[in-house]
Structures are given as C-alpha cells and as structure tokens.
Amino acid sequence: MCTIIFSLGQSRQYPLVVAANRDEFYRRPTATMDWWATDNGLEILAGRDLESGGTWLAVSPEGRVSAVTNVREGSPEAGRCSRGELPLKALSLPYPELKDTLTSDPGRYSGFNLVSLSPDNGWYYSNRDAHPGRQVFRGIYGLSNHLLQTPWPKLLRLRTAVGQSIDTARADTDALHSQLISVLQDTTPAPDNQLPDTGVGLDTERFLSSPFISGEHYGTRATTIVTLSTLGEIQVTEQSWGPFAQKLEKREFRWQR
C-alpha cells in the first residue's frame, strides 16, 4: 500500500511537487534511495525492492517522476510479473507504446495504479480502470490503493494539507521538504463510517486508514518528497522508518536539471 499526493503547476516556485508514503512489510528486503542503472542502462534515483526487483518511485536525471501503487482487493489476482517494473518502464518507454503494451495484456500485473509526471504534463494508468489511460494536467491529485482521486478520508486530508504547504512555500526548499515530511506523518485514523470496503475486513481497513501507518510488522517504511523549482533545481528527500515509526536514515539529493 502507498499514498501519493502530487501537484502540477500549482505553484510558481515549484511547478512539480510529489509527496509519497511507501507502506510495506518490514521484513521485505529493500535498498534505500540512491542512483542506479536499470537493465537497459537507464540511470534513475530510486529505492530498490531486493525481493522482486524494481521500485515503487523513481526520478530521472531530467526530473520526471514515476510511481506505482497497488489496488487493494480482498482476493487479488496474482500477476505474472512484479509491479515494480512499471515505474522503470514509465521512464524508459514512450507513453503510447507503454499504454498499448499494458492494454493488450491486462493480466500481466496484479491491480495497479501508475503515474508519470513532469512539470508540464503527466499521465495516469490503472489496469482496474474501466477506461485505462488518461492525461493529467494542472492541479493537485491524490492516489492511494484505489483509482486516482478516489475520495478516501486520508487522501482528502493529505491533499488539503499538502496543498496548503505548497501555497505558503517560499524559496526555502529544505523547509518545504521538512514540512511535507511532517504532514505525511499523520497517524489519524478515519472514522468507521467513512472507511471504504475493499474486502480486507474492518480491522484492516481501520489500520490502513491513516496517511502514515505505524505497526510492528507492517507500516510506512519511507516518506519521499520530490520538488522541481522554476530555476530547474531538483531536490529529493527520503526519510526511512522502522517498526512503530522508528526514525531511520534520511537521504537528500539535489541537482540542476
């Protein structure tokens, strides 16, 4: 499970902002965010899933961001390939080619949402969407484990809070990143009467209903912030977490587009 809030063209100072929490079992082996090359030689900045390969969020040297979330389903269909491939494909293939590939083989992956974003444009694709594949334009968006902009309580709350942080941001990028990391640490659960029914049971719905999940075996493992300024500076911050929200390593990257 993951939660992603992204802003396109909402700020003169920061035309692209991505704020994301990655939720996963703590036992799943993971490499923290760093530069690495994919099998086809594409250089990316990303964390790495050491069990199945791939990643959940990747940034290109030009500042394009791709990210994937799963679709929460009570009895998910097993895909033949890991969804961690998808952010890598989104950065290496033209969108029309990738869309055609995904549409022609919808069962290749378990349920997923995939976004690819730049300051000028973006697109979204889900193999659980009735009409998969759409462009996204100026605005602020929320994505978790259902379709884009599904009004789950944690998405509505996070989208508002991230939007307010961006609206009030000045030229201090470090301060904006710190503020957004704090915003994404929201552990407030949703009221029972606002919980979705995704087939996983009430107790699990409650546990997963907060933007930041703190648990013993499963929870938020990384908070990632990506900004691209009007001056072309790309800054990425990743804060890693352990069980019960234990603060681990913080990694920061910045370069000129």
Per-residue confidence of the chain (257 residues) as pLDDT tens digits?
Answer: 599 999 999 999 999 999 999 999 999 999 999 999 998 889 999 999 999 889 999 999 999 999 999 998 876 667 889 999 999 999 999 999 999 999 999 889 999 999 999 988 899 999 999 999 999 999 999 999 999 999 999 999 999 999 999 999 988 999 999 999 999 999 999 999 999 888 888 999 999 999 999 999 999 999 999 999 999 999 999 999 999 999 999 999 999 99
Q: What is the pLDDT of residue 76?
A: 67
Question: Which residues lie closer than 8 Å to 48 by C-beta, 6 or more apart?
Answer: 30, 31, 34, 36, 54, 55
- Determine the pLDDT at residue 176: 98
Strands 57-59 and 30-37: unpaired
> Domains plus CATH for the chain?
2-256 (3.60.60.10)
In this prediction, residue 73 carries a pLDDT of 83
Write the CA distances from 62 to 2, 12, 187, 228, 235, integer angstroms: 24, 19, 33, 10, 12
Torsion of CA 155, 156, 158, 164, to 10 degrees: 150
Check residue 121 and give its pLDDT: 87
**pLDDT for residue 75:** 66
pLDDT of residue 1: 59
For residue 160, which of 15, 16, 19 has the smallest C-alpha distance?
19
**How many Cα atoms sit within 13 Å of 65 on the Cβ side?**
26
